Structure 1
Amino acid sequence: MPRIERVIEGEGAVQQIPAELERRGLKRALLLTGKSIGATEQFGDLVNALGEKAAGVYTRVEAHNPVKRLAELVEVALNVDADVVIGIGGGSAIDAAKLTALGIGEGIHEGHDFLRYSISHGLPELKGNPLPVIAVPTTLSAAEWNGVAAFVDDTTNTKELTRYLVLTPNTVVLDPALCALTPRNLWTTTGVRAIDHAIEIAYATNAHPFTTALCVAALRTLAADLPRTSLDPNNVEAALRCQQAAWMSLVGVHNVPVGLSHAIGHQLGAAGVPHGVTSCITLPHVMRFYAEATEPQQTVMAAALAEARGSAVPLSAPEELELLFATLGVPRQIREFGLSPEALENVVRATMGEAEAVIRQAPRTVTAEDVRELLKQAY
């Protein structure tokens, strides 16, 4: 099970962070976020509330965490003598906190040295102890619930993953009021990402009843509440339910992995398609690719999606999903992002490079030609 020690949730939960640091005897926090959150009044209020415990503030986290930035983050943490890293924002900010914690524990000083700790390079045994991490998510990407972190090798434009249970945030703070600051297109597309987690974990070949039950519940909740929150960012009750559903969608990922939609999405992300949007584009096509092999699971998914829209007569699961996507108004085609044929061929290559790590529990065999055809359908 993930190593989460405490979850603080509810409107205003972010105000409990100073007390949480005090409870755990932590004195020098490095706060990591992106420019948007970093410029908000709420972020400034948190820094002020932390007082001397805010040893450092970094507001330049970039999407997908290019390795050239990671060494800079470690240097900042060292310079302020941080004893805890607080990631505030979407998946990139929370992954940045995990990677900074890893870099401190392993004595990493050069960005490309992080590649040695990626899944594709074998995940060597850790020699040190990562710093503790506190995660304050403002999207539904669910990075806060596990020890997986993504970054981009900016020399090859390939997305890499690291995965260590000890990188899991120790404390997670779910504050739906803070999520109201998130642009609605980002909120809804990361919500689709959580749906992608739930679907791919539920039909993995090593799916477990515990994780499957959570995933189906997550799917039902997100299908019902994501449209509500996409229209009204101040519906804090629905927003918190979405945050809890994102938690349920990914709690078992260290045991039951996500699959092909994520593998393709990782590499589309490295090529420039926003995180979350990739799931909007790939998931229905991947579900159809797996339809025969996962018919029992997709029947359950279709019923949950139909129930959320008030129907007792479900369509197929991919059709139900496309109805939801139409309601949300999310992007649906790769062509909207101007990727070249060469870039797409690199996506095929890099996706197959994740075969052992991400597609290892695929419901059917996946070839490079399959990926190429799925990209063609999604184009």
Structure 2
Amino acid sequence: MTDPRIFEMPRIERVLEGPGALQQIPAELERRGLGRALLVTGRTIGASAPFKELVNSLGERAAAVHNEVKAHNPVGSLAELVRLAQDVNADVIIGIGGGSAIDAAKLTALGVGEGIHEPADFLRYSISHGLPALSGAPLPTIAVPTTLSAAEWNGVAAFVDEATDTKELARYLELTPKTVVLDPGLCALTPRELWTTTGVRAIDHAVEISYATNAHPYTTALCMAALGILARELPRTSKDASDGAATLRCQQAAWMSLVGVHNVPVGLSHAIGHQLGAAGVPHGVTSCITLPHVMRFFEEATKQQQQLMAGVLAEARGSTQPLAAPDEMEVLFEELQVPRRISEFGISVEMLENVVRATMGEAEAVIRQAPREVTAEDVRGLLEKAY
């Protein structure tokens, strides 16, 4: 007799969505009794009119602003953020921007709760170092995404160990943002290439969670719906940032693609992508490069799931004659005009061996539900095909 399965429900408490949702943050802080917010974002959003209006509307509740988030969160910058949060006695962290900004907010909340002071101390809270039980309570976070990477829907947060150029992952349900704010008007400020490639990242979530060996009917249904929405709406929004209705549908699809990830993990495409990201490939672009190759690698073991995906993708482009799922994905990527090769990003063939090593370091954490066994030689071959 097998033990009952435990399904951890998502920890998000509220979602504010639609035009003008950003302006509801002061009321949300009031409702929660929070009075000292550290706002964490990048330079582009930090210089924007909507962000400045939000800071003004918060008044004294805006205890501090950090608008220097770095891509992939080098661990040294996280320690600086924790010190800032402690210096201003922040009681909530608001992450506004893409996955790096939202992960920075979650990791700052972790650092304050755990009393982290040194960059190296963050490594103890990563998957590769064992994920020790938390000794304190992370600060609450509010996430305002401007991309489709979907970091806001879970308690996973990524950072880079600068000593080894390896991407590390913290994973605690307690890091899940309490409130998520989906404002399509704010997303119009996102450069279209970034918006589009992070949309492909959400597609990658949907694919890998759907054919994981421990796939669940709840997550699979959400992922298949997300795949169809993104295949229809992402091409539209990649060309027209002003289409607020389609933008919100893409945001909702990104939500659907990843909300159950604490139960059913992503897989090989993400594991390789994490380490390509540490080597210098932008976050969403890694999925543009790896996903079709990984789908072909798993094609024999996931025939039934990929047949369903092919039908969904073909229907989205108006066809009743589906190609093989990886080929359907190639057609979509051609329409989106996303980057497709590792060699486009100044990464040498010699650097790929570190990517292989670091990817296999995620075998137990990220590739554990892969549809077939994955070896270092398999990863090396996939990287060669994608180069």
Normalising by the smaller structure, the TM-score range is over 0.9
- Which sections of structure 2, spanning at least 5 residues, go unmatched? 1-8
| CA deviation after TM superposition for structure 1 residue 158, in Å | 0.2
Deviation at 1:342, TM superposition (A): 2.5
Q: Which residue number corresponds to residue 377 of structure 1?
A: 385
Are positions 1:195 and 2:203 aligned together?
yes
| Partner-residue secondary structure (3-state), 1:195 | helix
Correspondence 1:80 to 2:88: yes
1:16 matched to which residue of 2? 24
SS of residue paired to 1:276 = helix
Query: CA separation in 1, counterparts of 2:70 and 2:350?
Result: 24
Q: Structure 1 regions of 5+ residues with no counterpart?
A: none
User: Which of 75, 78, 93 is 2:101 aligned to?
Assistant: 93
Partners of 2:76 and 2:103 lie apart in 1 by 15
Corresponding residue to 1:67 among 72, 75, 83: 75
- The superposition leaves residues 320-376 of structure 1 with CA deviations (integer Å, 9 ceiling, x where unpaired) of 111100000000000101111221000000000000000000000000000000000
- 2:184 corresponds to 1:176: yes
Partners of 2:19 and 2:208 lie apart in 1 by: 30
Q: Distance in 1 between matches of 2:349 and 2:68?
A: 31
- Partners of 2:307 and 2:10 in 1: how far apart? 29
SS of the aligned residue for 2:124 comes to helix
What is the match of residue 260 of structure 1?
268
| Structure 1 residue runs of 4 or more that deviate by more than 3 Å after TM superposition | none
The one-letter code matched in structure 2 to 1:268 is L
Aligned equivalent of 1:298? 306
1:157 aligned partner: 165
The question of 1:225 aligning with 2:233 is answered yes
User: How many Å separate the matches in 2 of 1:376 and 1:341?
Assistant: 8
* Aligned partner letter, 2:217: P
Q: Does 1:287 align with 2:278?
A: no
2:11 equivalent to 1:3: yes
Q: Retained in 2: the 8 A contact 1:261–1:286?
A: yes
Q: Provide the secondary structure at the position in 1 that maps to 2:283.
A: coil
Q: Check the 8 A contact 1:219/1:245 in 2, yes or no.
A: yes
Q: Distance in 2 between matches of 1:318 and 1:11?
A: 35
TM-score by length of 1: 1.00
Tell me what 2:342 maps to.
334
The one-letter code of the counterpart of 1:59 is N
1:65-102 Cα distance to aligned partner (Å, 9 max, x none): 00010110001101110000000000000000000000
Please state whether the residue corresponding to 2:95 is helix, strand or coil. strand
- Quick check: 1:2–1:147 contact (8 Å CA) kept in 2? no
Amino acid at match of 2:65: V
The corresponding residue for 1:113 is: 121
**Counterpart residue type for residue 205 of structure 1:** T
One-letter amino acid of the structure 1 residue matched with residue 329 of structure 2: L
What CA distance in whole angstroms lies between the structure 2 residues aligned with 1:154 and 1:12?
38
Rounded Cα–Cα distance in structure 1 between residues aligned with 2:349 and 2:88: 45
* TM-score, normalised relative to structure 2: 0.98
Give the SS at the match of 1:60. coil
Identity of aligned residues (%): 78
Letter in 2 for 1:353: G
Contact 1:105 1:129 survives alignment (8 Å): yes
SS of the residue 1:162 aligns to: strand
1:208 aligned partner, one-letter code: H
SS in structure 2 at match of 1:177: helix
Secondary structure of 2:371's counterpart equals: coil
- Cα distance in 2 between the residues matched to 1:111 and 1:57: 21
- Aligned residue in 2 for 1:322: 330
Aligned to 1:250: 258
- Match of 2:363? 355
Residue aligning to 2:3 = none
Question: Residues 183-221 of structure 1: CA distance to partner in whole angstroms, max 9, x if unpaired?
Answer: 000000000000000000000000001100000000000
Alpha-carbon distance in structure 2 between the residues aligned to 1:243 and 1:123 = 30
Contact 1:32 1:96 in 2 (8 A): yes
Aligned to 1:159, what secondary structure does the other structure show?
Answer: strand
Aligned to 2:4: none
Matches within 5 A, 1:41-60: 41-60=49-68
Contact 1:32–1:59 (8 Å) recurs in 2 = yes
Q: Distance in 2 between matches of 1:310 and 1:49?
A: 45
Give the letter for the 1:315 counterpart: L
How far residue 112 of structure 1 moved from its aligned partner, in angstroms, is 1.3
CA distance in 1 between partners of 2:322 and 2:19 (Å)? 35
Q: How far, CA to CA, are the matches of 1:343 and 1:130 in structure 2?
A: 36
Q: CA separation in 1, counterparts of 2:312 and 2:349?
A: 37
Q: Output the amino acid matched with 1:270.
A: A
